[in-house]
Amino acid sequence: MYNEPLSMNKKKFLIIRFSSIGDIVLTTPVIRCLKQQLPNAEVHYVTKSSFRSILENNPYIDKLHLLEGNDWKKLLEELRAEKFDHLIDLHRNFRSMRIKRATHVSFTSFNKLNIQKWLLTNFQWNVMPDVHIVDRYLETVKQFGVVNDDKGLDHFISEKDKVQQQDLPASHHAGFIGIVIGAALETKQLPTEKLKELCSKIQHPIILLGGPEDKKRGDEIASVDSIKIYNACGKFNINESADLVRRSKFIITHDTGLMHIGAALKKPMLSVWGNTVPAFGMTAYYGDDAVKDKRYEINYLRCRPCSKIGYHQCPLGHFKCMNDQDINSMADTATEWAKKYR
């Protein structure tokens, strides 16, 4: 970190976070607080072009810069021309280092706590601070007097991305539960048979949420009851899926991007945790809003967490962190909440 103080007339900031959906959504309090609390701040953000839709509707961002493929030459020329006063590195990897070296301006970097995470995943020795990642992100701007406003996360959905009533089956017009079936890696997902069991036991209309990669599995889950369960995986883009989250009574979700979008939209949720753990500091974040987040995790396993990200299959083969989940309890809670939330 350069120690040159930021003078009163400097105002142009660049926030750096290249991926992924959930991590980007978790940076939104930094964007909002910086913009609202520093009247002269001009806030720019750089990310991969594939995540444009997560940020393009954010009113607190003055300009969005995108890495198209691997076209670093174009991006670095664009960023150097902006003559930023300060960089806020919320990714801290070789890509963000490349930007810092190319622009030669002062910066603050997010502490990723890699040693603490390594100890937790390799020895189950938890020395992680009891601090949410949102507050750790906000540490990067405290030198400017910016503080957490406790308003939670942001996700903005444009009118064009709002799902029309006629695009959903009539059986779901009176209300539905959203179930996010996907996640970045398989060890963060309930197995298909567990999801089929869960859906069969919930007495309420369900919409399955996920990307095109989840469609085939969604079809298999929906085959349990094709009237009660509507498979929306792959039929809607990420912001349209976010709108379905917004319209749901509540969601059931793994530790994934739509979980954080759900938190930004103040949705109650049942969150299901497999190889990752809440101790990493990336739980659903609502700020000071009292929104219900009931977490399901298998705490007695000595092998958990096995990774801060996940694997394609359980390293030990038994996958107890998901196979031992209490599906009956989830279904009972979901049926009860369906009567409570409108």
Domain of residue 39, CATH code? 3.40.50.2000
- Report pLDDT for 5: 45
- Tokens read off for 116: 């603490």
Boundary of a domain, candidates 144, 178, 195: 144
- Report pLDDT for 9: 64
Instruction: Report the domain count for the chain.
Output: 2
**Whether 196 and 331 share a structural domain:** yes
- Report pLDDT for 1: 41
Please tell me what DSSP assigns to residue 35. Answer: H
Spans of the chain below 50 pLDDT: 1-7
**Whether 139 and 238 share a structural domain:** no
- Report pLDDT for 6: 46
**Whether 102 and 195 share a structural domain:** no
**Whether 327 and 192 share a structural domain:** yes
Residue 307 in any domain: the answer is: yes
**Whether 173 and 310 share a structural domain:** yes
Residue 4 in any domain: the answer is: no
Boundary of a domain, candidates 75, 110, 144: 144
Boundary of a domain, candidates 144, 168, 195: 144
**Taking the C-alpha atoms of 136, 141, 146 and 148 in order, what is their torsion angle to the nearest 10 degrees?**
-20
- Report pLDDT for 25: 98
**Whether 139 and 210 share a structural domain:** no
pLDDT digits (tens, 9 = 90+) for 47-90: 999 999 999 999 999 999 999 999 999 999 999 999 999 999 99
pTM of the complete model: 0.95
Q: What angle separates helix 192-201 from helix 215-222, to the nearest 10 degrees?
A: 40
Residue 330 in any domain: the answer is: yes
**Whether 313 and 237 share a structural domain:** yes
Nearest to 27 by CA among 122, 181, 135, 116: 135
- Report pLDDT for 4: 43
Query: Whole-angstrom Cα distance, residue 96 to residue 98?
Result: 5
**Whether 140 and 172 share a structural domain:** no
pLDDT digits (tens, 9 = 90+) for 103-151: 999 999 999 999 999 999 999 999 999 999 999 999 999 999 999 999 9
Structural domain span for residue 193: 160-340
Residue 1 in any domain: the answer is: no
Residue 201 in any domain: the answer is: yes
Query: Whole-angstrom Cα distance, residue 327 to residue 229?
Result: 17
Residue 6 in any domain: the answer is: no
- Reduced to 3 states, what is the DSSP secondary structure of residue 209? strand
Contacts with 159 (C-beta within 8 Å, 6 or more apart), sequence order? none
Residue 52 in any domain: the answer is: yes
- Report pLDDT for 27: 98
Instruction: Report the Cα 306 to chain-centroid distance in Å.
Output: 20
- Report pLDDT for 255: 97
**Whether 191 and 224 share a structural domain:** yes
Q: Give the strand pairing for 206-209 and 86-89.
A: unpaired
Instruction: Report the Cα 15 to chain-centroid distance in Å.
Output: 17
**Whether 46 and 165 share a structural domain:** no
**Whether 170 and 257 share a structural domain:** yes
**Whether 49 and 186 share a structural domain:** no
